[in-house]
Chain A
Amino acid sequence: MGEAGLRVRRLLPWLGLAVLFAVPVIVQRLGMPSLLGLATRIVIMGLAASSLNLLLGYGGLVSFGHAAYFGLGAYAVGILNAQFVSGDPLLGVIPGTDELAVTLPVAMLVSGAFALVLGALCLRTVGVPFIMITLAFAQMLYFLFVSLKAYGGDDGLLIRRPNVLASLNLRDGATMYWIAASCLVAYLLVCGRAMRARFGRVIAGQRQSPRRMAALGIATYPYKLVLFGMAGMGAGLAGALMANFSRFVSPDMMHWTQSGDLLIMVVIGGAGRLWGPLLGAAVLIGLETLLSGWTQYWQIVLGPILVLVALSGPGMRRRIGWTA
Chain B
Amino acid sequence: MDGVTAPLLALRGVTKRFGGLVATNDLSLDVFPGEVHALIGPNGAGKTTLIGQMTGELRPDSGQIRFDGVDVRRLSAPRRARLGIGRTFQITQLLREDSALANVAMAVQAGQGHSFRFWQEVRGDASLREAALMALDRVGLLARASVPVAALAHGERKQLELAVALAQAPRLLVLDEPMAGLGPVESQAMTGILAGLKGHVAMLLVEHDMDAVFALADRITVLVYGAAIASGPPAEIRRDPKVLAAYLSEEMG
CB pair A214 B77 closer than 8 Å: yes
Interface string of A203-232 (1 = CB under 8 A from B): 011001101111111110001001000000
- Which residue from A197, A198, A218 sits with its C-beta under 8 Å from B78? A218
CB pair B118 A214 closer than 8 Å: no
- Give the size category of B's interface with A: 35 or more
Cα distance A223–B93 when bound, in Å? 20
CB pair A214 B76 closer than 8 Å: yes
Q: List 26 A-B contacts (CB under 8 A).
A: A196-B122, A197-B120, A198-B109, A198-B115, A198-B120, A198-B122, A199-B117, A200-B122, A205-B106, A208-B96, A209-B93, A211-B89, A212-B93, A212-B94, A214-B57, A215-B87, A215-B93, A215-B165, A216-B106, A216-B107, A216-B110, A218-B110, A219-B78, A223-B115, A223-B116, A318-B97
Which residue of chain A has its CB nearest to the CB of B108? A216
Residues of B within 8 A of A (CB): 55-57, 76-79, 81-82, 86-87, 89, 93-98, 102, 105-107, 109-111, 115-123, 164-165, 168
Nearest-neighbour CB distance to chain B for A218, whole angstroms, equals: 5
CB pair A217 B78 closer than 8 Å: yes
Cα distance A60–B81 when bound, in Å? 24
CB pair A217 B81 closer than 8 Å: yes
List of B residues within 8 angstroms of A149 by Cβ: none
List of B residues within 8 angstroms of A199 by Cβ: 115-118
Cα distance A42–B204 when bound, in Å? 57
Cα distance A193–B117 when bound, in Å? 10
Give the one of A201, A216, A223 with max B CB within 10 A.
Answer: A216
- Give the size category of A's interface with B: 20 to 34
Interface string of A63-99 (1 = CB under 8 A from B): 0000000000000000000000000000000000000
Q: Say if the beta carbon of A202 comes within 8 Å of chain B.
A: yes
- Which residue from B93, B94, B115, B122 sits with its C-beta under 8 Å from A218? B115
Q: Say if the beta carbon of A194 comes within 8 Å of chain B.
A: yes
List 4 extra interface pairs beyond A197-B120, A208-B97, A214-B78, CB under 8 A.
Answer: A198-B116, A209-B95, A217-B82, A219-B79
Which residue of chain A has its CB nearest to the CB of B112? A198
Interface string of A140-174 (1 = CB under 8 A from B): 00000000000000000000000000000000000
List of B residues within 8 angstroms of A213 by Cβ: 78, 110
Nearest-neighbour CB distance to chain A for B116, whole angstroms, equals: 6
- Which residue from A198, A205, A216 sits with its C-beta under 8 Å from B81? A216
Secondary structure class of chain A's binding surface, majority of residues: helix
List of B residues within 8 angstroms of A194 by Cβ: 118-119
Residues of A within 8 A of B (CB): 190, 193-194, 196-202, 204-205, 208-209, 211-219, 223, 226, 318
Cα distance A213–B93 when bound, in Å? 9
Which residue of chain A has its CB nearest to the CB of B95? A208
- Which residue from B57, B111, B117, B168 sits with its C-beta under 8 Å from A198? B117
A211-B93, A214-B57 given; A226·B116 CB < 8 A: yes
CB pair A204 B98 closer than 8 Å: yes
Which residue of chain B has its CB nearest to the CB of A194? B118
Which residue of chain A has its CB nearest to the CB of B116? A199
Cα distance A316–B246 when bound, in Å? 49
CB pair B122 A214 closer than 8 Å: no
Which residue of chain B has its CB nearest to the CB of A216? B110
A211-B89, A212-B94 given; A217·B115 CB < 8 A: no
Nearest-neighbour CB distance to chain A for B174, whole angstroms, equals: 9
List of A residues within 8 angstroms of B82 by Cβ: 217
- 9 tightest A-B contacts by CB? A217-B81, A214-B77, A216-B110, A217-B82, A198-B115, A198-B117, A194-B118, A208-B95, A212-B93
CB pair B57 A211 closer than 8 Å: yes
CB pair A201 B57 closer than 8 Å: no
List of A residues within 8 angstroms of B77 by Cβ: 214-215
CB pair B121 A193 closer than 8 Å: yes
CB pair B122 A201 closer than 8 Å: yes
Nearest-neighbour CB distance to chain B for A273, whole angstroms, equals: 13
Which residue of chain A has its CB nearest to the CB of B91? A211
List of A residues within 8 angstroms of B76 by Cβ: 214, 219
Cα distance A202–B79 when bound, in Å? 16
List of B residues within 8 angstroms of A197 by Cβ: 117-122
Give the one of B57, B82, B109, B115 with max A CB within 10 A.
Answer: B115
CB pair B121 A212 closer than 8 Å: no
Cα distance A114–B122 when bound, in Å? 30
CB pair B55 A215 closer than 8 Å: yes
Cα distance A213–B120 when bound, in Å? 21
- Which residue from A193, A204, A212, A217 sits with its C-beta under 8 Å from B111? A217
Nearest-neighbour CB distance to chain A for B38, whole angstroms, equals: 21
Which residue of chain B has its CB nearest to the CB of A208? B95
List of A residues within 8 angstroms of B106 by Cβ: 201, 205, 212, 216
Cα distance A235–B123 when bound, in Å? 29
